[in-house]
Chain A
């Protein structure tokens, strides 16, 4: 063979091996359009267009972002303690985290939903649920604080929550883990799941003015796992739709055993009917429950905690026209009602299609008795085809959640194929798909769960971020991705990290709520029992081993700032009143050796830190929030003497 021939052979071999690599498709890569920076840049000093209230998942908190900038404004503590804000550390806030199990310092905050008036966010409150120790919270959108927390009895994990009805008549709480009803009869073999385990759906009423919660009634259901729910609106107002998985009623290795049926269910409840039955006294009073009801009063600046012991329960199987099951493939996660209320989208996380049910057809099927021959644990099962508007074919893999825009389109998140898919609700046609980085869970369209979505922005909340940001060790952030959905194609604009694991979120136009935001607490309306009425009222009082320090803060001193006569082992309560009445002028308070946290006291507010000195000596305390030019001077001393010492209890600020 000649050299030329050798070369040819080698070239041929190289070509073969290169072509092997070439037949491999290219990865999705990152596709950001040219002027994305311009469209997300909010210049310094200017405001964002939307407030974005984002659940913190396992952080237990709710965060407030701006859209489109993705700037984080505030993290509001809800179900988890937060030493920065003394949430769960100050004497005033400790009762908020009390439950029937005692003080619970952490929870898993899953979803956020606005309070609604006529199907639109009214900007009064955000509702949030905790999945571990089942509770429901109400966050006030004037103070941006958690105003109320109520525990949910007869419930395992309160995952299917806090979705509200069209006028927030009720906030829904429903169990993800069916359990035997509360009480001593709950001591049963876990293998007796099918006989003894029940689901409970709670209808928690919301006072239109004060927002106060009350568990109006509960519906007892078969032992299904309720995942998510969506209340009817418009034509379907008065109904509630809940996704149920584990129709197998498995109690072990659910990964496999609860994934066997080709179809699970969406449970449709006529809640107006349930309310009627409840009001007509058809429910049973259950008195062996214990659940906490905690309220924060912004005039006493203190929370109260009480245990309630009664709930009214209606068993859905006892009523003919209360609840209907609709078969839904397969292990449905999200169930979402479109803005008109006519269509109900079920997202079977293991299904290869998305079924869309029609409210009209459901009503007709119920009227015609178009049911499967067998009931499911006493509940009629509507025939799949009779309820179906149609199916979206080959939408993607692992559909989880659907939101809607103002143009008749739906947006569904796909966890497994890691994408957001836009499709037309009426025509069931896929219109666009965009990758997410990576594995999107929830998604949110601004106003996407309301009667008139604002549209414009979609945020995908991703579970996996891997290579998206600078690495920070094994524990990486979850992330939000902002898409502009105003055009035909969704355009990725921005990536930003989030607090904890964001599940659901809400976005409300800034104009709707920004002017409601409180600037200061009125010092004259402060009814805290341990308020110091001005510096003249500042003092220290002893009652046995309990010492109360009535302290004031104002730029740039604490009054009193010299305290003597405290003894080792005393229970010292620092009741700090911030007598400032100026916007953005909080003061902080911390003392050496305190076994809890700092305090941050807003203008006009009184907050209390408990301190038990463990040794003799001089203990400095100081303001922790840089408040003024002389912030560093804002400090004082406590002298701690041995138990039984005869050092007199004295206090002063400035020369005596």
Chain B
């Protein structure tokens, strides 16, 4: 095989390690929404995994019924069935590209992973929007013009609750994998440019 099209060892190592880390994401919380209110000095937490919701889901559902928000149920999300496989495929893809070491494979992986990231975030935002806006018109508490969409990332006050949304450990691994992948792509792109000039 021509050296021109091969990835350097450092990048291959990064890809393989990232791939293994991505496989671990399947079992780790990806996103965290923390809720704070005067009556909840201890805070409430919603943890989003690739395959389930965890944390104080029942308590949060109990509170949400006052404003007419739909009950959060893992069964309502097709994502929880698909996402573990998708993350698994990407993890394996990282490892395979790392082993095969083809630059073209790296580029394709980068494009696909970027697409996956964007689609995932859009999908996540869409769910947040839907839960925040699709409120039961007969809810006891109706504040005109008020929606309860939690922020995708960062802080937002929703009535008496402060909602703070950030990636959890799985999410950070995901982001780190993306950043490292981009770093590899950038590095390889520079190497390829050097090759092209020579």
Give the CA-CA distance A439 to B41 in the complex, in Å: 12
B164-178 near A? 1/0 per residue, CB < 8 Å: 101000001000100
Min Cβ gap A141→B in Å is: 36
> In the complex, which of the residues B37, B39, B41, B172 contacts A17, with contact meaning CB atoms closer than 8 Å?
B172
> What CA separation (Å) do A419 and B159 show in the bound complex?
13
B160 & A397 in contact (Cβ 8 Å cutoff): yes
- In the complex, the chain A residue whose C-beta lies closest to that of B10 is A1
Contact between B140 and A27, CB atoms less than 8 A apart: no
A416 to B42, Cβ gap below 8 A? no
Evaluate whether A419 and B140 lie within 8 angstroms (CB atoms) in the complex, with A17-B172, A25-B162 already known: no
The verdict on A255 contacting chain B, using a C-beta distance below 8 Å, is yes
Do A416 and B162 touch across chains, with their CB atoms under 8 A apart?
Answer: no
- Cβ-defined partner of B38 (8 Å) among A20, A259, A352, A419: A419
B138 at the binding interface (Cβ < 8 Å): yes
* 0/1 string, A467-478, CB within 8 A of B gives 1: 100000000000
A72 at the interface (CB under 8 A from B): no
**Cβ-closest chain B residue relative to A254:** B140
Query: Cβ of A418 < 8 Å from any Cβ of B?
Result: yes
- Within 8 Å of chain A (Cβ to Cβ): is B36? yes
Given contacts A23-B155, A24-B164, A25-B162, is CB(A438)–CB(B41) below 8 Å? yes
**CB-contacts of A1-57 with B (<8 A):** 13, 17, 20-21, 23-25, 27-28
In the complex, whether B139 has a CB less than 8 A from a CB of chain A is yes
Query: Does the CB pair B160–A416 fall under 8 Å?
Result: yes
Do the beta carbons of B155 and A24 come within 8 Å of each other?
A: yes
Q: Are A350 and B140 interface neighbours, CB within 8 A?
A: yes
Alpha-carbon distance between A416 and B160 when the two chains are bound, in angstroms: 7
The yes or no answer to A117 lying at the interface (CB within 8 A) is no
B residues contacting the other copy or chain, number (CB 8 A) = 24
Identify B154's interface contact among A23, A350, A418, A435, CB under 8 A: A23
Which residue of A13, A21, A27, A466 contacts B36 across the interface (Cβ within 8 Å)? Answer: A27
Report whether B144 and A418 are in contact in the complex, using a CB–CB cutoff of 8 Å.
no
Q: Across the interface, do B42 and A466 meet the contact criterion of CB distance under 8 Å? A: yes
Contact of B159 with A416 in the complex, beta carbons under 8 Å = yes
* A581 close to chain B: CB less than 8 A: no
Contact flag A464-B144 (CB < 8 Å), given A25-B155, A260-B138, A397-B160:
no
Are B140 and A418 in touch, CB under 8 angstroms? Answer: no
Contacts of B1 in A (CB 8 A): none
Closest to A464 in B: B39
Q: Does A256 contact B (CB under 8 A)?
A: yes
Question: Is there contact, CB below 8 Å, between A435 and B38?
Answer: yes
Chain B neighbourhood of A256, CB < 8 A: 138-140
Q: Is A312 an interface residue (CB 8 A)?
A: no
| 256-279 of chain A: CB within 8 A of chain B | 256-257, 259-260
Q: Tell me which residues across on chain B come within 8 A of A237, comparing CB atoms.
A: none
A35 → chain B closest CB, angstroms: 26
Q: Is residue B196 within 8 Å, beta carbon to beta carbon, of the partner chain?
A: no
- Give A467 to B41 CA distance when docked, in angstroms: 8
Contact digits for B134-159, partner A, Cβ 8 Å, 1 yes 0 no: 00001111111000000001110001
A417: chain B residues within 8 A (beta carbon): 38, 159-160
Q: Report the bound CA distance from A129 to B130 in whole Å.
A: 46
Chain A residues lying within 8 Å of B38, measured Cβ to Cβ, are 28, 417-419, 435-439
Which residues of chain A from 598 to 648 have a CB within 8 Å of any chain B CB?
A: none
Q: A242 CA to B39 CA in the complex, in Å?
A: 29
A23 to B155, CA, bound (A): 7
Total contacting residues, chain A, CB less than 8 A: 30
- Bound-complex Cα distance A438 to B38 (A): 6
Write the nearest CB–CB distance from B18 to chain A, whole angstroms. 15
Please report the C-alpha to C-alpha distance between residue A417 and residue B138 in the assembled complex, in whole angstroms.
22
Closest chain-B Cβ to A19's Cβ sits at a distance in Å of: 10
Complex CA–CA separation, A27 to B166 (angstroms): 18
Q: How far is the CA of A328 from the CA of B18 in the complex (A)?
A: 61
Contacting residues, chain A, for B142 (C-beta < 8 A): 350
A28 to B162, CA, bound (A): 12
Shortest distance from the beta carbon of A86 to any chain B beta carbon, whole Å: 39
Nearest Cβ on chain B to A122's Cβ, whole angstroms: 38
Can you list, as one digit per residue, whether each of A378-417 has a CB less than 8 Å from chain B (1) or not (0)? 0000000000000000000110000000000000000011
Residue of B nearest to A352 (CB): B143
Q: State A260–B139 Cα separation when bound (angstroms).
A: 8
Given contacts A256-B138, A350-B141, A397 and B154 within 8 Å (CB-CB): no
**Interchain CB contact (< 8 A) of B166 among A20, A397, A435:** A20
Q: What's the minimum C-beta distance from A349 to chain B, rounded to whole angstroms?
A: 9
**CA A13 to CA B175, docked complex, whole Å:** 11
Proximity bits, B10-49, A CB within 8 Å = 1, else 0: 0000000000000000000000001011110110000000
Residues of chain A within 8 A (CB-CB) of B160 are 397-398, 416-418
Contacting A at CB under 8 A, from B77-124, are none
Residue of B nearest to A257 (CB): B138
Q: A162-193 toward B: CB 8 Å interface, digit per residue (1/0)? A: 00000000000000000000000000000000
A419 CB contacts on chain B under 8 angstroms: 38
A255 cross-chain contacts in B, Cβ below 8 A:
140
For the complex formed, measure the closest distance between the CB of A41 and the CB atoms of chain B, giving whole angstroms: 27
Given the interface pairs A17-B172, A23-B154, A350-B140, the reply to whether A397 lies near B42 with Cβ below 8 Å is no
What is the chain A residue whose CB lies nearest that of B143? Answer: A352
With a cutoff of 8 Å between Cβ atoms, the chain B residues found around residue A439 in the complex are: 38-39
Contacts of A260 in B (CB 8 A): 138
Contact A397 B41 (CB under 8 A): no
Report A-chain residues with C-beta under 8 Å of the C-beta of B140: 255-256, 259, 350
Chain B residue with Cβ nearest A331 = B140
Asked, given contacts A24-B164, A417-B160, whether A352 binds B144 with beta carbons under 8 Å apart, the answer is yes
Q: How far is the CA of A23 from the CA of B172 in the complex (A)?
A: 17
A437 to B160, CA, bound (A): 14
A residues in contact with B141, CB < 8 Å: 259, 350
What residues of chain B lie closer than 8 Å to A350, measured between beta carbons? 140-142
* Docked complex Cα distance between A439 and B139 (Å): 21
> Please, which residue of chain B has its CB at the minimum distance from the CB of A20?
B166
| Contacting pair A418 B41 (CB below 8 A) | no
A418 contacts across to B, CB distance below 8 A: 37-39, 160
Which residue in chain A gives the minimum CB-CB distance to B146? Answer: A352
Q: Which A residues lie within 8 Å of B42 (CB)?
A: 466-467
Distance of B9 from chain A, by nearest CB (Å): 14
A263 smallest CB distance to B (angstroms): 13
| Extra pairs beyond A24-B155, A419-B38, A467-B41 (9, CB < 8 Å) | A13-B176, A23-B155, A25-B162, A255-B140, A350-B140, A416-B160, A417-B160, A438-B39, A439-B39
12 contacts between A and B (CB under 8 A): A20-B154, A21-B166, A24-B34, A24-B164, A255-B140, A259-B139, A397-B159, A417-B160, A418-B38, A418-B160, A436-B38, A467-B41
Top 8 A-B pairs, shortest CB-CB distance: A418-B38, A259-B140, A438-B39, A24-B164, A417-B160, A416-B160, A439-B39, A20-B166
